[in-house]
Amino acid sequence: MKLGAFSVSLAVKDLAASKAFYEKLGFEKFAGDESQNYLIMKNEDKLIGLFEGMFEQNILTFNPGWDQDAGSLDDFDDVRAIQQSLKSQGIELHSEADETTSGPASFTLFDPDGNVILVDQHV
């Protein structure tokens, strides 16, 4: 199963404070918009999303079709195929992608400890 780029999306209380902290760890702004309360920070091939007021807990995020630089991959597993594979293994999904569509879509699930996993395809 090809899940694509991986990042941790953090629910932060103060975007500016979190940005300053992660900059001290060597992260730099990669994408996002502070006026919209989110930033994507990058250190080499590690990505951290900082999201103020958008969700309650941290999220593990996979982006099928993207590499760690948000570049499109030619060979990847479509989010709907990943969803079907997980469902066939008995994994319960919290939200689902519409399997009658193509292109961008997402679904969510919880791991055994209640951590949110987002599989979010942008291509």
Give residue 21's pLDDT: 98
Give residue 91's pLDDT: 97
For CA atoms 69, 70, 73, 79, give the dihedral sign: positive
Give residue 43's pLDDT: 97
Distance CA 112, CA 121 (A): 23
In angstroms, what CA-CA distances link 100 with 50, 83, 92, 96, 115?
32, 13, 19, 11, 28
Give residue 94's pLDDT: 97
Give residue 90's pLDDT: 97
Distance CA 50, CA 79 (A): 23
Give residue 100's pLDDT: 97
Q: Which CATH number fits domain 5-121: 3.10.180.10, 3.40.50.720, 3.40.225.10, 3.30.930.10?
A: 3.10.180.10
Distance CA 6, CA 60 (A): 8
Read off the tokens for 45.
């091939």
Give residue 120's pLDDT: 97
Distance CA 123, CA 117 (A): 19
Counting as low any pLDDT under 70, the low residues of the chain are none
